[in-house]
Structure 1
Amino acid sequence: MSAFAPTRGRKSLGRMQKVEARQALGFITPALAGLALFTIAPVVLSVIMSLFDWPAWGERTFVGFGNYIALATEHPGFWPALRNSAVFALLYLPLNLIISLGLALLLSPRIRGRGFFRILFFIPVVTPMVANVLVWKLLLQPNGLFNGISTTWFGVQLPSFLTDPQWAMVMVVIMSVWQGMGYNMLIFSAALEQLPESVIEAARIDGARGFKMLCRITLPLISPSVFFAGVMTMISSLQVFAQPQLLTGGGPGNATIPLVMFIYNQGFKFQEMGLAAAAGWILFAIIIGLTAVQFSAQKKWVHYEV
């Protein structure tokens, strides 16, 4: 009887593993179904749509890479939208990282009330975007608070920020930095609090202070957090949509239409789903390419603990 005991034990263990596998499959099936229905299927459909002349209503015609070629060579709005996205990203990314890091350094563990100020700067991140934009729109109107203060107190008439092509994108960037800097501030604050005190003390003994301490000690130690914040902020800056859509409507003219708004307009305003899908995949390729460049360059400046 004892010779068959291990065999029975293995069979019992095998049955239990099968039962647990079926139970696990039952638990993850709803999540897999949602992933397939709401993520994988739309992605596959968008690839197919980008290869067709796909109006919202009517006959669909296969054009291959015709939509991509049309965007690159014929469409008058694609390159201005791509340029606007590039301008926004080039302004927003460094400003967000520099201001967020500066706030994190100011709200160091030695500052009293740092928790209150961190919450204060983080509030715009969790506040609905529509509410944030409407407040800024009221402030920037020709008869808004900023113009009223400058006219009453200083006798200076401010430009029409939201209708001047030279100022509209700047205002979108400033509003976006104000709205999003709290997220990276918390990331940098958490990284700064994890700095090894022994290294900081050794650097101070060696005479490191101020800017020298920041560049040679602090930034290398928190470089993984800087890299993460840089990658995520770059991706979000290229996907900007709500801020210009609500603040300026893409105007004046096409001055603040980024690529995501261009995709939205092509798909839902002009009913050109094929062009919209092609533009979306071009944006995806740009984001993947820039992310790959950042990951390849991280070996030269990001220092992970061994």
Structure 2
Amino acid sequence: MLGVIVLNFLLIRLAPGDPAVVIAGEMGGATEEMLASIREEYGLNKPVLTQLWIYVSGMARFDMGESFFFNLPVSQLIAQRIGPTILLVLSAQLLSIVIGVFLGVIAARNPRGPLSAFVSIFATIGYAVPVFWTGIILIILFASAFPIFPVEGMQSIRLRDAPLFTRVLDIAHHLVLPAFTLAIIYLAQYARLTRASMLDAMSADYIRTARAKGIGERKILFSHALRNALLPILTVAGLQFGNLISGALLVETVFNWPGMGRLAFDSILRRDYPTILGVLFFASLMVVIANILTDFSYRLADPRLKDET
């Protein structure tokens, strides 16, 4: 995480653009005196290495600084936005894994059948289509042509004072299109991976032994083959978590979802360095935690790993 903090800081400083010019523009003028005053106020006139030391020292005290644009502590801004992002990312991850694994298992039962061919075609198309294009198409279909789901936001303003259960249903209603938009590209990948892993598992000796013992096909499929085919799926799920977070930026922009991705987008446009760095830090932290949880999930999926050191 220290490496991430230092690298992000240096890359942001190398990017073109001057935050002082943006801040002065918001104030209605950009004279040299005003620019010099702004740079001094925010420490932008100091050498880059000095700014880096100040920033790293602040991070060691869990102080991410104050936003140039919002004039609020970055930690407060992220605390307001991290919940919606986690909800969106975890919902998309759950959707993609559950539906993708189910499609992969069904396709593996008859690898030469029409369903298997459909899964392969669907996976290829789903993986190739850009996530923002999928979001726009879903908006056209299910918010314009057939107005079933809301087109933007996380909840309806008129229901903010409603009972808790009503508000939960309203948030879930708003979540459908963004979560499915983010999930579809990974859903297709999990379907293909599950199909390939299941075909390998179904040809193993222990599957033939289970069939010889008279165990039912459904139990063989889900209790024996799928459990051994889960390890590569879990590995990809952990590695893809970072891509989900980066994809959330586009999805949150398309659907105006009030998460960290939208905050990052607004901060990039305004050259709000502290906020950008705070978002990148928490996104990296979420990826690290996801990979650690993936390692622990191996032990649940494969009991043989419990005895290994």
How does the TM-score come out when normalised to structure 1?
0.67
Residue 207 of structure 2 corresponds to residue 212 of structure 1 = no
* 1:25-174 correspondence runs (5 A): 43=8, 45-46=10-11, 55=19, 57=21, 58=35, 59=39, 60-61=42-43, 62=51, 64=55, 65=58, 68=64, 70=66, 77-108=77-108, 109-113=110-114, 114-141=116-143, 143-144=144-145, 146-147=146-147, 158=148, 160-162=150-152, 165=155, 166=171, 167-174=173-180
What is the CA deviation profile of residues 171-222 of structure 1, one whole-angstrom value per residue up to 9, with x for unaligned ones? 2002222343111111111111212343222222334335533443122311
2-structure distance, mates of 1:298, 1:175? 28
- CA-based RMSD of the aligned residues comes to 3.4
Letter in 2 for 1:129: V
1-structure distance, mates of 2:89, 2:229? 23
1-structure distance, mates of 2:130, 2:73? 38
Residue 259 of structure 2 corresponds to residue 258 of structure 1 = yes
Tell me which residue corresponds to 2:249: 241
What is the CA deviation profile of residues 92-139 of structure 1, one whole-angstrom value per residue up to 9, with x for unaligned ones? 112111100111112124442323541134302202333322211111
**Gapped regions of structure 2 (runs ≥ 5):** 22-34, 44-50, 156-170
1-structure distance, mates of 2:240, 2:221? 22
Residue 239 of structure 2 corresponds to residue 227 of structure 1 = no
Tell me which residue corresponds to 1:32: none
Q: What percent of counterpart residues are identical?
A: 9
Residue 193 of structure 2 corresponds to residue 177 of structure 1 = no
2-structure distance, mates of 1:288, 1:75? 19
| Residue 69 (structure 1) shift | 5.3
Number of aligned residues: 244
2-structure distance, mates of 1:229, 1:139? 31
Letter in 2 for 1:133: G
2-structure distance, mates of 1:115, 1:215? 21
Residues 44 and 160 of structure 1, relative CA distance in 2, 3 Å threshold: closer
**Gapped regions of structure 1 (runs ≥ 5):** 1-38, 148-157, 251-255
Tell me which residue corresponds to 1:186: 192
| Residue 235 (structure 1) shift | 2.6
2-structure distance, mates of 1:227, 1:43? 28
| Residue 284 (structure 1) shift | 0.9
CA contact (8 A) 1:220 1:303 kept: no
1-structure distance, mates of 2:65, 2:8? 21
Letter in 2 for 1:55: P
2-structure distance, mates of 1:77, 1:107? 45
| Residue 238 (structure 1) shift | 2.7
SS at match of 2:19: coil
Q: Tell which structure's C-alpha radius of gyration is larger.
A: 1
Residues 159 and 298 of structure 1, relative CA distance in 2, 3 Å threshold: closer
Residues 208 and 243 of structure 1, relative CA distance in 2, 3 Å threshold: farther
Letter in 1 for 2:10: L
Tell me which residue corresponds to 2:205: 198
